[in-house]
Structure 1
Amino acid sequence: MRNRFHAMAGGAAKALGVVALLAPAAAMASDAQHWEILTATANLGDGWRASAENITRFSQTRGFYELEQNLMVGHEIGDKGGPPGLVVYLGYTHDPQYAHGNFTIMEHRFRQQISLDRLMQVGPVRFSGRVRVEQRWREGISGTAWRLRPYIKAAMPIAGKVMLVAAHESFIDANRNGFQRLGGEERMRNSLGFNMPLNRRVTLELGYLNQHGFVPGAKDTNDNVATLEIKANF
Protein backbone atom coordinates (compact mmCIF):
# COMPACT_ATOMS: atom_id res chain seq x y z
CA MET A 1 0.00 0.00 0.00
CA ARG A 2 2.83 2.38 0.93
CA ASN A 3 4.61 1.66 -2.37
CA ARG A 4 1.43 2.37 -4.26
CA PHE A 5 0.98 5.66 -2.42
CA HIS A 6 4.55 6.73 -3.20
CA ALA A 7 4.08 5.82 -6.85
CA MET A 8 0.91 7.90 -7.05
CA ALA A 9 2.59 10.81 -5.25
CA GLY A 10 5.48 10.66 -7.70
CA GLY A 11 3.03 10.68 -10.60
CA ALA A 12 1.22 13.65 -9.10
CA ALA A 13 4.47 15.59 -8.82
CA LYS A 14 5.22 14.95 -12.48
CA ALA A 15 1.66 15.93 -13.36
CA LEU A 16 2.02 19.29 -11.64
CA GLY A 17 5.12 19.96 -13.69
CA VAL A 18 3.26 19.25 -16.90
CA VAL A 19 0.32 21.41 -15.79
CA ALA A 20 2.67 24.37 -15.54
CA LEU A 21 3.60 23.81 -19.17
CA LEU A 22 -0.01 23.42 -20.26
CA ALA A 23 -1.18 26.82 -18.97
CA PRO A 24 -0.54 29.44 -21.69
CA ALA A 25 1.66 32.23 -20.38
CA ALA A 26 0.05 34.77 -22.71
CA ALA A 27 -3.38 34.43 -21.11
CA MET A 28 -4.46 37.41 -19.03
CA ALA A 29 -8.16 37.22 -18.12
CA SER A 30 -8.79 34.14 -15.98
CA ASP A 31 -11.69 32.31 -14.39
CA ALA A 32 -11.82 29.40 -11.93
CA GLN A 33 -14.34 26.72 -12.83
CA HIS A 34 -15.60 23.27 -11.83
CA TRP A 35 -17.09 20.74 -14.25
CA GLU A 36 -18.95 17.58 -13.27
CA ILE A 37 -19.28 14.96 -16.02
CA LEU A 38 -21.32 11.76 -16.07
CA THR A 39 -20.96 9.42 -19.06
CA ALA A 40 -22.74 6.13 -19.69
CA THR A 41 -21.94 3.88 -22.67
CA ALA A 42 -23.95 0.81 -23.61
CA ASN A 43 -22.92 -2.01 -25.94
CA LEU A 44 -25.92 -2.69 -28.19
CA GLY A 45 -24.39 -5.68 -29.95
CA ASP A 46 -23.21 -6.28 -33.51
CA GLY A 47 -20.73 -3.39 -33.25
CA TRP A 48 -23.32 -0.79 -32.20
CA ARG A 49 -23.03 1.36 -29.09
CA ALA A 50 -24.91 4.25 -27.52
CA SER A 51 -23.62 6.89 -25.12
CA ALA A 52 -25.19 9.58 -22.97
CA GLU A 53 -23.14 12.39 -21.44
CA ASN A 54 -24.18 15.05 -18.94
CA ILE A 55 -21.80 17.99 -18.23
CA THR A 56 -22.61 20.55 -15.52
CA ARG A 57 -20.39 23.65 -15.47
CA PHE A 58 -19.87 26.16 -12.66
CA SER A 59 -17.83 29.37 -12.82
CA GLN A 60 -16.40 31.70 -10.20
CA THR A 61 -17.65 34.69 -12.20
CA ARG A 62 -20.88 33.28 -13.71
CA GLY A 63 -22.02 30.71 -11.15
CA PHE A 64 -23.92 27.77 -12.68
CA TYR A 65 -23.76 28.55 -16.40
CA GLU A 66 -24.22 25.44 -18.55
CA LEU A 67 -25.88 22.02 -18.64
CA GLU A 68 -24.64 20.20 -21.73
CA GLN A 69 -26.41 16.92 -22.56
CA ASN A 70 -25.15 14.70 -25.36
CA LEU A 71 -26.70 11.60 -26.92
CA MET A 72 -24.72 9.61 -29.49
CA VAL A 73 -25.07 6.35 -31.42
CA GLY A 74 -21.98 4.76 -32.93
CA HIS A 75 -20.96 1.77 -34.97
CA GLU A 76 -17.52 0.15 -34.85
CA ILE A 77 -16.21 -0.47 -38.35
CA GLY A 78 -12.67 -1.47 -37.38
CA ASP A 79 -13.71 -5.14 -37.38
CA LYS A 80 -14.75 -4.79 -41.04
CA GLY A 81 -11.31 -4.04 -42.43
CA GLY A 82 -10.73 -0.61 -40.89
CA PRO A 83 -8.22 0.35 -38.20
CA PRO A 84 -8.79 -1.33 -34.79
CA GLY A 85 -11.18 0.64 -32.58
CA LEU A 86 -12.52 2.85 -35.41
CA VAL A 87 -16.04 4.01 -34.49
CA VAL A 88 -18.35 6.35 -36.43
CA TYR A 89 -20.92 8.33 -34.40
CA LEU A 90 -23.93 10.54 -34.96
CA GLY A 91 -25.40 12.56 -32.10
CA TYR A 92 -27.37 15.49 -30.73
CA THR A 93 -26.48 18.04 -28.05
CA HIS A 94 -29.05 19.86 -25.91
CA ASP A 95 -27.23 22.83 -24.39
CA PRO A 96 -29.18 25.36 -22.27
CA GLN A 97 -26.98 28.16 -20.94
CA TYR A 98 -27.34 30.26 -17.80
CA ALA A 99 -25.90 33.13 -15.80
CA HIS A 100 -25.82 32.42 -12.05
CA GLY A 101 -28.52 29.80 -12.59
CA ASN A 102 -30.81 32.07 -14.61
CA PHE A 103 -31.59 30.79 -18.11
CA THR A 104 -30.13 32.91 -20.94
CA ILE A 105 -30.22 31.00 -24.25
CA MET A 106 -30.76 27.56 -25.77
CA GLU A 107 -28.27 25.97 -28.13
CA HIS A 108 -28.83 22.83 -30.20
CA ARG A 109 -26.08 20.87 -31.96
CA PHE A 110 -25.95 18.04 -34.46
CA ARG A 111 -22.61 16.23 -34.37
CA GLN A 112 -20.71 13.71 -36.45
CA GLN A 113 -17.65 12.00 -35.01
CA ILE A 114 -14.94 9.55 -36.00
CA SER A 115 -13.13 7.98 -33.04
CA LEU A 116 -10.02 5.83 -32.85
CA ASP A 117 -10.05 4.10 -29.47
CA ARG A 118 -6.66 2.49 -30.17
CA LEU A 119 -4.84 5.10 -32.22
CA MET A 120 -1.29 3.96 -31.35
CA GLN A 121 0.96 2.88 -28.48
CA VAL A 122 4.46 4.10 -27.66
CA GLY A 123 5.98 2.02 -24.87
CA PRO A 124 3.50 2.08 -21.98
CA VAL A 125 1.65 5.15 -23.35
CA ARG A 126 -1.60 4.48 -25.21
CA PHE A 127 -3.08 7.11 -27.53
CA SER A 128 -6.68 7.57 -28.61
CA GLY A 129 -8.31 10.36 -30.60
CA ARG A 130 -11.33 11.67 -32.40
CA VAL A 131 -12.43 14.23 -34.96
CA ARG A 132 -15.81 15.84 -34.29
CA VAL A 133 -17.83 18.10 -36.59
CA GLU A 134 -20.70 20.14 -35.15
CA GLN A 135 -23.52 22.21 -36.59
CA ARG A 136 -24.83 24.65 -33.99
CA TRP A 137 -28.06 26.63 -33.73
CA ARG A 138 -29.21 29.09 -31.07
CA GLU A 139 -32.86 29.89 -30.60
CA GLY A 140 -33.72 33.43 -31.69
CA ILE A 141 -30.51 33.84 -33.75
CA SER A 142 -30.46 32.97 -37.45
CA GLY A 143 -27.77 30.94 -39.16
CA THR A 144 -25.87 27.69 -38.67
CA ALA A 145 -22.41 27.70 -37.08
CA TRP A 146 -20.01 24.96 -38.22
CA ARG A 147 -17.21 23.85 -35.92
CA LEU A 148 -14.39 21.28 -36.04
CA ARG A 149 -13.02 19.70 -32.84
CA PRO A 150 -9.93 17.47 -33.17
CA TYR A 151 -8.95 15.70 -29.93
CA ILE A 152 -6.09 13.46 -28.81
CA LYS A 153 -5.56 11.70 -25.48
CA ALA A 154 -2.62 9.81 -23.95
CA ALA A 155 -2.89 7.37 -21.05
CA MET A 156 -0.06 5.78 -19.06
CA PRO A 157 -0.27 3.39 -16.08
CA ILE A 158 1.43 4.75 -12.95
CA ALA A 159 0.24 2.48 -10.10
CA GLY A 160 -1.71 -0.72 -10.63
CA LYS A 161 -4.79 0.20 -12.66
CA VAL A 162 -4.44 3.95 -12.00
CA MET A 163 -3.66 5.86 -15.19
CA LEU A 164 -2.11 9.28 -15.77
CA VAL A 165 -4.06 10.87 -18.65
CA ALA A 166 -3.34 13.98 -20.72
CA ALA A 167 -5.40 15.42 -23.57
CA HIS A 168 -5.59 18.29 -26.06
CA GLU A 169 -8.63 19.57 -27.96
CA SER A 170 -8.92 22.48 -30.39
CA PHE A 171 -12.15 24.29 -31.34
CA ILE A 172 -11.93 25.55 -34.92
CA ASP A 173 -14.76 27.72 -36.26
CA ALA A 174 -15.37 27.01 -39.94
CA ASN A 175 -17.64 30.03 -40.52
CA ARG A 176 -19.14 33.08 -38.85
CA ASN A 177 -22.72 33.93 -37.96
CA GLY A 178 -24.65 35.89 -35.34
CA PHE A 179 -23.09 34.08 -32.36
CA GLN A 180 -19.95 32.44 -33.79
CA ARG A 181 -17.93 35.51 -34.71
CA LEU A 182 -14.27 34.56 -34.62
CA GLY A 183 -13.46 32.14 -37.44
CA GLY A 184 -10.41 29.89 -37.20
CA GLU A 185 -9.22 28.50 -33.87
CA GLU A 186 -11.51 29.86 -31.19
CA ARG A 187 -10.08 28.06 -28.16
CA MET A 188 -8.12 25.04 -26.99
CA ARG A 189 -8.35 22.75 -23.99
CA ASN A 190 -5.37 21.01 -22.39
CA SER A 191 -6.00 18.64 -19.51
CA LEU A 192 -4.17 16.37 -17.11
CA GLY A 193 -5.63 13.95 -14.61
CA PHE A 194 -5.86 10.52 -13.02
CA ASN A 195 -8.17 7.73 -14.14
CA MET A 196 -8.95 4.93 -11.70
CA PRO A 197 -11.50 2.05 -11.72
CA LEU A 198 -14.12 1.99 -8.98
CA ASN A 199 -15.39 -1.43 -10.02
CA ARG A 200 -15.63 -3.59 -13.13
CA ARG A 201 -17.89 -1.15 -14.99
CA VAL A 202 -17.28 2.29 -13.47
CA THR A 203 -14.20 4.53 -13.55
CA LEU A 204 -13.45 7.86 -11.92
CA GLU A 205 -11.35 10.56 -13.54
CA LEU A 206 -10.12 13.59 -11.59
CA GLY A 207 -8.16 16.32 -13.30
CA TYR A 208 -7.20 19.84 -14.19
CA LEU A 209 -8.19 21.47 -17.49
CA ASN A 210 -6.89 24.71 -18.93
CA GLN A 211 -9.23 26.34 -21.46
CA HIS A 212 -7.48 29.06 -23.46
CA GLY A 213 -9.72 31.37 -25.51
CA PHE A 214 -8.30 33.39 -28.41
CA VAL A 215 -9.57 36.99 -28.53
CA PRO A 216 -8.27 39.01 -31.52
CA GLY A 217 -7.42 42.58 -30.57
CA ALA A 218 -7.90 41.98 -26.85
CA LYS A 219 -6.58 39.88 -23.98
CA ASP A 220 -7.01 36.14 -24.35
CA THR A 221 -9.05 34.29 -21.74
CA ASN A 222 -7.77 31.53 -19.50
CA ASP A 223 -10.12 29.24 -17.57
CA ASN A 224 -8.65 26.99 -14.88
CA VAL A 225 -11.03 24.08 -14.41
CA ALA A 226 -11.21 21.28 -11.84
CA THR A 227 -12.93 18.28 -13.45
CA LEU A 228 -14.65 15.25 -11.96
CA GLU A 229 -15.87 12.58 -14.37
CA ILE A 230 -17.61 9.28 -13.73
CA LYS A 231 -17.75 6.82 -16.65
CA ALA A 232 -19.97 3.77 -16.72
CA ASN A 233 -19.87 1.00 -19.35
CA PHE A 234 -22.63 -1.56 -19.79
Structure 2
Amino acid sequence: MSKVHERSNDQRGPPLWNLIPIGFAATCVIVLGATPALAQSDVQAWGGFLASGTVRGELGVWAEGQIRVTNDIGHLGQRNLRLGLGWEPSPDLSIYGGYAVFRNTPVDDRASSTEHRTWQQLLVTLHSSPKLRLIGRTRTEQRWRENASGTSWRARQMLRGVMPLGKPGAPSAIVTSEVFFELADTRWGVRSGLDQVRTFAGVGIPLKPGLSTEIGYLNQTLIGRDRPGPNHIAQITLVARF
Protein backbone atom coordinates (compact mmCIF):
# COMPACT_ATOMS: atom_id res chain seq x y z
CA MET A 1 0.00 0.00 0.00
CA SER A 2 1.25 3.51 -0.74
CA LYS A 3 2.46 4.58 2.70
CA VAL A 4 2.84 8.33 2.25
CA HIS A 5 -0.91 8.78 1.80
CA GLU A 6 -3.58 8.51 4.44
CA ARG A 7 -5.18 5.09 4.85
CA SER A 8 -8.86 4.29 5.07
CA ASN A 9 -9.98 2.09 7.99
CA ASP A 10 -13.69 2.44 7.41
CA GLN A 11 -15.68 -0.73 7.84
CA ARG A 12 -19.00 0.94 7.04
CA GLY A 13 -18.16 2.07 3.54
CA PRO A 14 -21.32 1.38 1.51
CA PRO A 15 -23.59 4.08 3.11
CA LEU A 16 -21.05 6.76 2.21
CA TRP A 17 -21.45 5.93 -1.50
CA ASN A 18 -24.65 7.97 -1.31
CA LEU A 19 -22.62 11.13 -0.66
CA ILE A 20 -20.73 10.95 -3.96
CA PRO A 21 -23.42 12.16 -6.43
CA ILE A 22 -24.70 14.68 -3.88
CA GLY A 23 -21.23 16.11 -3.28
CA PHE A 24 -20.29 16.26 -6.95
CA ALA A 25 -23.61 17.86 -7.91
CA ALA A 26 -23.19 20.46 -5.18
CA THR A 27 -19.67 21.21 -6.37
CA CYS A 28 -20.90 21.70 -9.96
CA VAL A 29 -23.55 24.15 -8.73
CA ILE A 30 -20.94 26.13 -6.79
CA VAL A 31 -18.56 26.19 -9.77
CA LEU A 32 -21.27 27.25 -12.22
CA GLY A 33 -22.23 30.10 -9.92
CA ALA A 34 -18.67 31.30 -9.52
CA THR A 35 -18.01 32.55 -13.05
CA PRO A 36 -20.47 35.22 -14.30
CA ALA A 37 -18.24 38.11 -13.26
CA LEU A 38 -15.21 36.69 -15.07
CA ALA A 39 -16.00 36.59 -18.77
CA GLN A 40 -12.70 34.96 -19.75
CA SER A 41 -12.94 32.24 -17.13
CA ASP A 42 -13.95 28.73 -18.05
CA VAL A 43 -16.13 26.27 -16.16
CA GLN A 44 -14.77 22.73 -16.32
CA ALA A 45 -15.24 19.26 -14.83
CA TRP A 46 -12.31 16.92 -14.26
CA GLY A 47 -12.81 13.25 -13.42
CA GLY A 48 -10.11 10.71 -12.83
CA PHE A 49 -8.54 7.90 -10.85
CA LEU A 50 -5.31 7.32 -8.93
CA ALA A 51 -4.07 3.85 -7.99
CA SER A 52 -0.78 3.29 -6.20
CA GLY A 53 0.89 0.89 -3.82
CA THR A 54 3.68 -1.58 -3.28
CA VAL A 55 3.72 -4.87 -5.16
CA ARG A 56 6.90 -6.49 -3.85
CA GLY A 57 8.82 -5.26 -0.85
CA GLU A 58 9.56 -1.57 -1.38
CA LEU A 59 8.77 -1.63 -5.12
CA GLY A 60 5.80 0.61 -5.90
CA VAL A 61 3.55 1.16 -8.91
CA TRP A 62 1.62 4.27 -9.90
CA ALA A 63 -1.30 4.63 -12.35
CA GLU A 64 -3.25 7.85 -12.84
CA GLY A 65 -5.75 8.92 -15.48
CA GLN A 66 -8.09 11.84 -16.05
CA ILE A 67 -10.54 13.36 -18.50
CA ARG A 68 -11.12 17.12 -18.57
CA VAL A 69 -14.38 18.54 -19.91
CA THR A 70 -13.88 22.21 -20.78
CA ASN A 71 -15.72 25.11 -22.48
CA ASP A 72 -18.42 25.45 -19.81
CA ILE A 73 -18.54 21.66 -19.40
CA GLY A 74 -19.46 21.19 -23.04
CA HIS A 75 -16.29 19.92 -24.73
CA LEU A 76 -13.91 17.02 -24.10
CA GLY A 77 -10.71 19.02 -23.95
CA GLN A 78 -8.16 16.55 -22.64
CA ARG A 79 -7.49 12.91 -21.79
CA ASN A 80 -4.35 11.83 -20.00
CA LEU A 81 -2.67 8.77 -18.51
CA ARG A 82 0.34 8.66 -16.18
CA LEU A 83 2.22 5.44 -15.29
CA GLY A 84 5.24 4.91 -13.10
CA LEU A 85 7.41 2.75 -10.87
CA GLY A 86 8.74 3.78 -7.51
CA TRP A 87 10.64 3.05 -4.33
CA GLU A 88 9.11 3.41 -0.86
CA PRO A 89 11.92 3.06 1.69
CA SER A 90 9.83 4.31 4.62
CA PRO A 91 6.19 5.06 5.51
CA ASP A 92 6.81 8.79 5.03
CA LEU A 93 8.88 8.81 1.85
CA SER A 94 8.49 7.60 -1.72
CA ILE A 95 10.28 8.26 -5.00
CA TYR A 96 8.56 7.64 -8.34
CA GLY A 97 9.21 8.13 -12.03
CA GLY A 98 7.60 7.17 -15.30
CA TYR A 99 5.85 8.16 -18.51
CA ALA A 100 2.67 10.12 -19.26
CA VAL A 101 0.68 10.93 -22.40
CA PHE A 102 -1.78 13.80 -22.85
CA ARG A 103 -4.23 14.21 -25.74
CA ASN A 104 -5.42 17.81 -26.14
CA THR A 105 -8.44 18.79 -28.25
CA PRO A 106 -8.90 22.59 -28.54
CA VAL A 107 -12.33 24.16 -28.90
CA ASP A 108 -11.27 26.37 -31.82
CA ASP A 109 -9.94 25.38 -35.25
CA ARG A 110 -6.49 24.39 -34.00
CA ALA A 111 -5.58 20.77 -34.57
CA SER A 112 -5.56 18.28 -31.72
CA SER A 113 -2.14 17.55 -30.25
CA THR A 114 -0.46 14.76 -28.33
CA GLU A 115 2.04 15.50 -25.60
CA HIS A 116 4.49 12.95 -24.18
CA ARG A 117 6.15 13.35 -20.79
CA THR A 118 8.72 11.70 -18.63
CA TRP A 119 8.31 12.54 -14.97
CA GLN A 120 9.91 12.15 -11.56
CA GLN A 121 8.47 12.87 -8.13
CA LEU A 122 9.33 12.88 -4.44
CA LEU A 123 6.54 12.43 -1.85
CA VAL A 124 7.34 13.30 1.77
CA THR A 125 5.13 13.35 4.86
CA LEU A 126 5.95 16.67 6.53
CA HIS A 127 3.67 16.32 9.54
CA SER A 128 1.38 13.61 10.87
CA SER A 129 -0.99 13.81 13.83
CA PRO A 130 -4.57 12.70 14.57
CA LYS A 131 -5.84 16.14 13.51
CA LEU A 132 -3.66 16.98 10.50
CA ARG A 133 -1.50 15.27 7.91
CA LEU A 134 0.73 17.38 5.65
CA ILE A 135 2.31 15.92 2.53
CA GLY A 136 4.75 17.62 0.17
CA ARG A 137 5.17 16.55 -3.44
CA THR A 138 7.94 17.73 -5.74
CA ARG A 139 7.45 16.69 -9.37
CA THR A 140 9.56 17.41 -12.45
CA GLU A 141 8.45 16.83 -16.04
CA GLN A 142 10.08 16.80 -19.46
CA ARG A 143 7.44 17.44 -22.13
CA TRP A 144 7.43 16.93 -25.91
CA ARG A 145 4.71 17.72 -28.45
CA GLU A 146 4.28 15.64 -31.57
CA ASN A 147 5.11 17.60 -34.74
CA ALA A 148 6.77 20.36 -32.70
CA SER A 149 10.40 20.95 -31.76
CA GLY A 150 11.78 21.70 -28.33
CA THR A 151 11.54 20.23 -24.85
CA SER A 152 9.66 21.83 -21.99
CA TRP A 153 11.25 21.39 -18.57
CA ARG A 154 8.76 21.98 -15.76
CA ALA A 155 8.88 21.83 -11.96
CA ARG A 156 5.78 21.44 -9.78
CA GLN A 157 5.57 21.86 -6.02
CA MET A 158 2.46 20.76 -4.12
CA LEU A 159 1.44 20.94 -0.46
CA ARG A 160 -1.49 18.77 0.64
CA GLY A 161 -3.32 18.93 3.97
CA VAL A 162 -5.76 16.26 5.19
CA MET A 163 -7.90 16.93 8.27
CA PRO A 164 -10.14 14.09 9.57
CA LEU A 165 -13.68 15.22 10.37
CA GLY A 166 -14.38 12.47 12.90
CA LYS A 167 -13.25 9.06 14.02
CA PRO A 168 -11.25 6.76 11.71
CA GLY A 169 -13.41 5.97 8.70
CA ALA A 170 -15.14 9.36 8.66
CA PRO A 171 -14.74 11.82 5.76
CA SER A 172 -11.76 14.20 5.75
CA ALA A 173 -11.36 17.79 4.64
CA ILE A 174 -8.66 18.12 1.97
CA VAL A 175 -6.83 21.26 0.85
CA THR A 176 -4.02 21.32 -1.72
CA SER A 177 -2.02 24.01 -3.48
CA GLU A 178 0.36 23.36 -6.37
CA VAL A 179 2.67 25.83 -8.11
CA PHE A 180 3.98 25.21 -11.66
CA PHE A 181 7.29 26.66 -12.91
CA GLU A 182 8.42 26.48 -16.54
CA LEU A 183 12.21 26.25 -16.74
CA ALA A 184 12.73 26.76 -20.49
CA ASP A 185 11.07 28.37 -23.51
CA THR A 186 9.91 26.22 -26.42
CA ARG A 187 8.95 26.92 -30.03
CA TRP A 188 5.48 25.52 -29.34
CA GLY A 189 4.53 28.30 -26.96
CA VAL A 190 5.94 27.57 -23.51
CA ARG A 191 7.52 30.57 -21.75
CA SER A 192 9.86 30.19 -18.78
CA GLY A 193 8.76 31.42 -15.37
CA LEU A 194 5.78 30.98 -13.08
CA ASP A 195 3.10 29.26 -15.19
CA GLN A 196 0.08 28.52 -13.01
CA VAL A 197 -1.27 27.81 -9.53
CA ARG A 198 -3.86 25.14 -8.76
CA THR A 199 -5.72 25.24 -5.44
CA PHE A 200 -8.17 22.53 -4.39
CA ALA A 201 -10.62 22.35 -1.48
CA GLY A 202 -12.87 19.38 -0.98
CA VAL A 203 -13.72 16.28 1.00
CA GLY A 204 -12.34 12.76 0.97
CA ILE A 205 -14.96 10.04 1.45
CA PRO A 206 -13.77 6.53 2.39
CA LEU A 207 -15.74 3.84 0.59
CA LYS A 208 -14.05 0.74 1.97
CA PRO A 209 -10.52 -0.13 3.13
CA GLY A 210 -8.09 1.03 0.47
CA LEU A 211 -10.68 2.85 -1.64
CA SER A 212 -11.93 6.44 -1.37
CA THR A 213 -13.14 9.32 -3.49
CA GLU A 214 -12.17 12.99 -3.36
CA ILE A 215 -14.70 15.60 -4.46
CA GLY A 216 -14.29 19.35 -4.48
CA TYR A 217 -13.53 22.65 -6.18
CA LEU A 218 -10.29 23.35 -8.05
CA ASN A 219 -9.19 26.86 -8.97
CA GLN A 220 -6.66 26.99 -11.83
CA THR A 221 -5.00 30.40 -12.11
CA LEU A 222 -2.91 30.86 -15.28
CA ILE A 223 -0.06 33.35 -14.99
CA GLY A 224 0.98 35.67 -17.79
CA ARG A 225 -0.26 38.41 -20.07
CA ASP A 226 -3.17 37.64 -22.41
CA ARG A 227 -3.98 34.36 -20.68
CA PRO A 228 -7.60 33.64 -19.69
CA GLY A 229 -8.93 34.29 -16.21
CA PRO A 230 -9.08 31.60 -13.52
CA ASN A 231 -10.71 28.33 -14.48
CA HIS A 232 -13.36 27.05 -12.06
CA ILE A 233 -13.34 23.27 -11.95
CA ALA A 234 -15.51 20.60 -10.32
CA GLN A 235 -13.16 17.71 -9.65
CA ILE A 236 -13.77 14.11 -8.60
CA THR A 237 -11.08 11.45 -8.20
CA LEU A 238 -11.37 7.78 -7.29
CA VAL A 239 -8.36 6.82 -5.17
CA ALA A 240 -7.17 3.24 -4.63
CA ARG A 241 -4.34 2.25 -2.26
CA PHE A 242 -2.92 -1.24 -2.05
Report the CA distance between 1:40 and its aligned residue.
Answer: 1.5
| Gap regions ≥5 residues in structure 2 | 1-18
CA shift in 2, pair 1:205/1:176, >3 Å: same
* 1:103–1:204 Cα change, 3 Å: farther
Per-residue deviation, 1:68: 0.9
Q: Which is strand-richer, 1 or 2?
A: 1
CA distance, structure 2, for counterparts of residue 224 and residue 134 of structure 1: 24
Alignment partner for residue 169 of structure 1, among 171, 178, 183? Answer: 178
Residues 57-206 of structure 1: pairs in structure 2 closer than 5 A: 57-61=68-72, 63-78=75-90, 84-99=91-106, 104-116=112-124, 118-121=125-128, 124-160=131-167, 161-206=170-215
TM-score (norm 1): 0.81
Does 2:241 match 1:233? yes
Q: How many residues align?
A: 208
**CA shift for structure 1 position 200:** 1.0
Partner Cα separation in structure 2 for residue 85 and residue 121 of structure 1: 9
Counterpart Cα distance in 2 of 1:210 and 1:99 = 20
Superimposed CA distance per residue, residues 81-138 of structure 1 (whole angstroms, 9 cap, x where no aligned partner): xxx51111111101111135x970010000011111x221367111001100100000
TM-score, normalised with respect to structure 2: 0.78
**Any conservation in 1 of the 2:117–2:141 contact (CA below 8 Å)?**
yes
Pairing 1:50–2:61 present: yes
Assess if the C-alpha contact under 8 Å between 1:28 and 1:222 holds in 2.
no
Aligned to 1:5: none
Q: What's the offset of the Cα at 1:198?
A: 0.5
Higher RCO (CA-CA < 8 Å; seq separation 6+): 2
Structure 2 Cα separation of the partners of residues 68 and 85 of structure 1:
28
What is the CA deviation profile of residues 26-49 of structure 1, one whole-angstrom value per residue up to 9, with x for unaligned ones?
Answer: x76200000001112232121111
Q: What secondary structure sits across from 1:143 in the alignment?
A: coil
Q: What letter matches 2:83 in structure 1?
A: L
Gaps of 5+ in 1: 1-7, 79-83
Aligned equivalents of 1:107, 1:162: Cα separation in 2: 36
Q: Percent identity?
A: 28
